[in-house]
Structure 1
């Protein structure tokens, strides 16, 4: 039976063995970074009040550490800004751990955040990261690619939409390869997941618009092949219901997380006889498209139309006005996925199937794209 666990955000993890001259420095009760000198594992151990060996176990993902101890060590790591010396790592261990991040057809801004986080996690843990795209393979091709991949890596990270592919997941798990899904709203007893609470985040954003006086709110749904899309729509509906606002199916349009689909959905919403005073798009790419359509129609954002997005990717701050949006810490999520994979790969008891559902905090980021609705 799977063992479920909660893992806190990892911060900066794995450590290094101290150089002889550093070991001779000893420890103090309150270590502090000196200019030009790196923090040592002994200083982390002193602050956490544990042994250097325990710090080493925590930062290397060893499962044989109590959660309370792990949390103390991680707080010390974050407080001191401890950074590993990768050159001191065992190259043999690094070469023995290869993990893969496989993607297909994502938003460019979304993908870049995933890559930044995964590369950061791989670098600080001296892990080999394989990055590949399976665009255009189709379901059968993806399954075949998953079978081949299972022979060459120790673990796999799957961002949307591959994290929703039951076929790919079945091929990997049947081969005994640990998998971590990113940003999937589907709970699973087979694979771990790093996500935010999409329902709660969308409900919070909708309530934010309602608090500004909007009652006629358009919504652009995400791609139907991703469970997070449905949860965001459900959160939107829940906020309307809680505010006593009757849902209007005509104010909901299907999008596909692409800029072009946002253009098409915005045209339909703003062509209505009584258009919405605010539009909530399920990602920043589509929200940026809404602003473009509004400008083309001579509408001022936010005076005539408020627009909000989701994810807080680079698209949110490359449009004018900058977008109010939900911050999904994508890079940090990918970084955490690396840690979860390594803990699963390196645990001693391989007969225990470790499944982690790591829910990361989201944030509503206020910028300049929301105002009170215009007077009728």
Structure 2
């Protein structure tokens, strides 16, 4: 029977480099009070021996846990998983967060929390006590929940707020929602559309209002009215059906619609078919999110691509910087949202 190879430990590194365990620990934890020559000497032994620091060993230093905790909405996440409708928000969080964490020797853990639960403070406090993370990433609608931010402020844990200005504490990160809505609206204006409808998302999300403001601003700049052209949904498919039917049943119906989620845009596509409208011949559609389903719709949907991975990646960087005592931006950091043009938009029908 082959003998199991003995794991390389911090003691082996210290012996090989001829230094103390404390010195090796300081190098592993990237502490500042180590001379460069000594740092290079220890790193050479780490590389030679193939030593991989464990999180448990790093946490023993007491200064860091090397864990980043990301919170996502429980109900919406589970609903999306069960529906299997192609939503990839969590996948993109993992892509951006895990890869960036790995660069710094960190790990990211995602917890699902119900922002509407009366016990959300107790639930979050328990998670903080169990994991002792070096920072927390909040996603909408958690980002603007004062109960959640209050717990983090009291605990003194650095936290990033995606889809939030960061007012009242924390690190704000925006995904360019208002500018993205302006870009989408201007795209349709350039195609000759003047009656551009808008389906807003759930009001509890700040980004819903920012998107609506971007659409209104672009319409105002073009000297066009918006009265009777806006309906509100909740990001879900059923709400999109109701909003689209309302907009397309009105006299002087819109020739284009921007919807604040892929599911609501797919719903608008279905309603258009029910009413005998061709997309994009009779009705142009622009979506927000750009989840995988947009590419497989018929026609494929023009969409604003939410930069989720890039935003979570930046959030990790800023949290680690804050935990290390480094300066972070005073105002919110904006990650621009790309505009992806596909086949669901075309010039306004000539007969309108």
Q: TM tier, shorter chain? A: 0.7 to 0.9
1:310/1:327 contact within 8 Å kept? yes
Who is 1:192 aligned against? 171
Q: Distance in 2 between matches of 1:156 and 1:187?
A: 14
Q: Which runs of 4+ in 1 moved over 3 A?
A: 60-64, 352-356
Q: 1:339 to 1:147 in 2, by over 3 A?
A: same
Cα RMSD (Å): 2.7
Structure scoring higher RCO (CA < 8 A, sep ≥ 6) equals 1
- Structure 2, unmatched stretches of 5+, are 1-26, 34-46, 81-86
Q: Distance in 2 between matches of 1:340 and 1:323?
A: 34
The CA deviation at 1:180 is 0.6
Q: Which has the higher mean CA deviation after the structures are superposed, 317-326 or 171-180?
A: 317-326
TM-score (structure 2 length as normaliser):
0.75
1:160/1:182 contact within 8 Å kept? yes
Task: Choose from 248, 253, 266 the match for 1:270.
Answer: 248
Q: Does 1:367 align with 2:332?
A: no
Higher Cα Rg, which structure? 2
Q: Does 1:93 align with 2:58?
A: yes
Who is 1:172 aligned against? 152
TM-score (structure 1 length as normaliser):
0.71
Who is 1:333 aligned against? 311
Who is 1:150 aligned against? 128
Who is 1:161 aligned against? 141
Q: Does 1:209 align with 2:209?
A: no
Q: Distance in 2 between matches of 1:346 and 1:182?
A: 21
Q: Does 1:241 align with 2:220?
A: yes
The CA deviation at 1:285 is 2.1
Q: 1:329 to 1:88 in 2, by over 3 A?
A: farther
The CA deviation at 1:360 is 1.2
Q: 1:150 to 1:372 in 2, by over 3 A?
A: same
The CA deviation at 1:63 is 10
Q: Distance in 1 between matches of 2:32 and 2:314?
A: 15
Who is 1:225 aligned against? 204
The CA deviation at 1:278 is 0.3
SS of the counterpart of 1:321? Answer: coil
Q: Distance in 2 between matches of 1:355 and 1:62?
A: 25
